[in-house]
């Protein structure tokens, strides 16, 4: 496994179709592999108004507050940085050049990333908001400012939103992006029901594509497939599970990326890896975890196990950490845990740096130390 200096390597195309990929063999990738079809990859089901997880999952309610209260107020963990982080800065001129590897990622912190894959630009779970909360005067606050200003964003082919939680769908961000010329022709891809939230924030309904699990939409040469995740939804305690949540596979002519979004561990990862892999890059959450909600947040140890269940090919990119205080652990603990794992191809860049993904070449930025 090669390791390289991060700073040394920093340096209308849409065709839309919606289909179910549960019984398709993907042939458009140069990774020519005979994909096996797993029965765990099925469209989401509902009970009444509520969507169900692919396997049972325990999601805490009001009673959880009493369990975590003492740890929240009396715990000694450094849940936020003691000193200011950054500033981090993205040089927008880089986007005027094509990716040398064909796969370039700009991680903005937490789960927000700009993914350039085989000539297509995808913006994932955009959150530029100051707080991951219903209001901007209270709630989890950013550890650092967004590395790239709105006006410096390049033209985007598609925006992919995994679910409706505030740390993945920032209302202020969506309202701003919906009216920007860089997004004039962008396809907005969401799980079922989330598109309705986008409509209220100014996104044109004709630009939205809502997918059930196993359905896909093709953007240029890249197939975007919504896949199951073990999580939940809701922007309040009173509308949980009423919109769908999802992970995604991005499959292009030369590269494959899996975006795990928010999820607990489950046995479907094996089938996702067999049917849609091998992945060049696997993006899995490591932060905001706790044994009390392990069913819906896998944590660093779970991310390593899930990466291996997905096939263990390519590189693991830790996400869902380093920007918001959303749990009870020290803010650096998740990344410290995965850095300590041996025999793991890790790809963890500095926020805001457009970074090329080359086979077998790790990035282990220590910006957080």
Q: Is 293 part of any domain? A: yes
Following DSSP, what letter does each residue of 58-70 receive, concatenated? ----THHHHHHHH
* Token digits of residue 271: 């089938």
- Beta-ladder partners of 114: 106, 123
State the chain's mean pLDDT as an integer: 89
Q: Is 72 part of any domain? A: no
Nearest CA among 211, 213, 130 for reference residue 173: 130
Q: Do the beta carbons of residue 235 and residue 245 sit within 8 Å?
A: no
344, pLDDT greater than 50: yes
Cα(105)–Cα(113) distance, integer angstroms: 7
* Model pLDDT for residues 22-39, shown as the tens digit of each residue: 544 343 333 333 333 445
Q: Is 63 part of any domain? A: no
Nearest CA among 289, 282, 341 for reference residue 306: 282
Helix (H) or strand (E) run with residue 362 in it: strand 361-364
Q: Is 82 part of any domain? A: no
248, pLDDT greater than 70: yes
pTM of the model: 0.89
pLDDT on residue 84: 87
Cα(139)–Cα(305) distance, integer angstroms: 31
Q: Is 58 part of any domain? A: no
* Model pLDDT for residues 133-186, shown as the tens digit of each residue: 998 899 999 999 999 999 999 999 999 999 999 999 999 999 999 999 999 999
251, pLDDT greater than 90: yes
Q: Where are the beta strands (DSSP E) in 120-266?
A: 120-124, 158-160, 187-191, 208-211, 215-219, 222-227, 247-251, 256-259
Cα(356)–Cα(11) distance, integer angstroms: 8
Cα(247)–Cα(318) distance, integer angstroms: 15
pLDDT on residue 22: 53
Cα(34)–Cα(24) distance, integer angstroms: 11
Q: Is 62 part of any domain? A: no
Domain count, the chain: 1
Q: What is the domain-level CATH number for residue 153?
A: 3.60.15.10
Following DSSP, what letter does each residue of 11-39 receive, concatenated? -------EEE-TT----SSSS---PPPPT
Q: Is 322 part of any domain? A: yes
Q: Which domain range does residue 214 map to?
A: 2-31+87-364
* Token digits of residue 106: 């700009």
Nearest CA among 197, 122, 195 for reference residue 153: 122
Query: What is the band of 18 on the pLDDT scale with cuts at 50, 70, 90?
Result: low
């Amino acid at each position: 496994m090669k390791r390289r200096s991060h700073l040394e390597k920093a340096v209308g195309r849409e065709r839309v179709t919606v289909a179910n990929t549960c019984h398709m063999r993907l042939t458009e990738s140069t990774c020519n592999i005979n994909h096996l079809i797993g029965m765990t990859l099925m469209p989401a089901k509902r009970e009444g108004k509520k969507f169900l997880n692919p396997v049972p999952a325990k999601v805490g309610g009001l009673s959880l507050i009493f369990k975590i209260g003492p740890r929240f107020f009396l715990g000694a963990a450094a849940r936020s940085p003691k000193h200011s982080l950054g500033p981090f800065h993205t040089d927008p001129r880089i986007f005027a050049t094509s990716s040398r590897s064909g796969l370039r990622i700009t991680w903005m912190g937490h789960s927000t990333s700009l993914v350039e894959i085989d000539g297509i630009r995808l913006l994932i779970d955009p959150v530029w908001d100051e707080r991951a909360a219903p209001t901007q005067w209270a709630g989890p606050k950013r550890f650092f400012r967004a590395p790239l200003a709105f006006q410096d964003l390049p033209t985007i082919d598609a925006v992919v939103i995994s679910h409706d939680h505030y740390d993945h769908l920032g209302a202020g961000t969506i309202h701003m992006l919906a009216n920007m010329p860089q997004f004039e022709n962008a396809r907005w891809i969401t799980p079922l029901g989330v598109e309705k939230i986008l409509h209220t924030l100014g996104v044109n309904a004709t630009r939205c594509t809502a997918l059930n699990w196993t359905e896909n939409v093709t953007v240029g040469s890249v197939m975007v497939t919504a896949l199951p995740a073990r999580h939940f939804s809701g922007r309040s305690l009173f509308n949980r599970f009423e919109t769908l949540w999802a992970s995604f596979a991005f499959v292009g002519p030369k590269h494959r990326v899996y975006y795990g979004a928010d999820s607990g561990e489950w046995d479907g990862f094996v089938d996702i890896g067999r049917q849609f892999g091998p992945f060049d890059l696997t993006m899995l959450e490591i932060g905001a975890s706790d044994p009390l909600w392990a069913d819906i947040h896998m944590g660093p140890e779970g991310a390593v196990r899930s990466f291996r269940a997905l096939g263990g090919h390519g590189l693991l990119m830790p996400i869902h950490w380093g920007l918001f205080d959303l749990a009870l652990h020290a803010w650096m603990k998740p990344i410290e845990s995965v850095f300590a794992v041996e025999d793991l191809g890790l790809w963890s860049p500095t926020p805001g740096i457009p970074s090329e993904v080359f086979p077998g070449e790790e990035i282990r930025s220590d910006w957080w130390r």
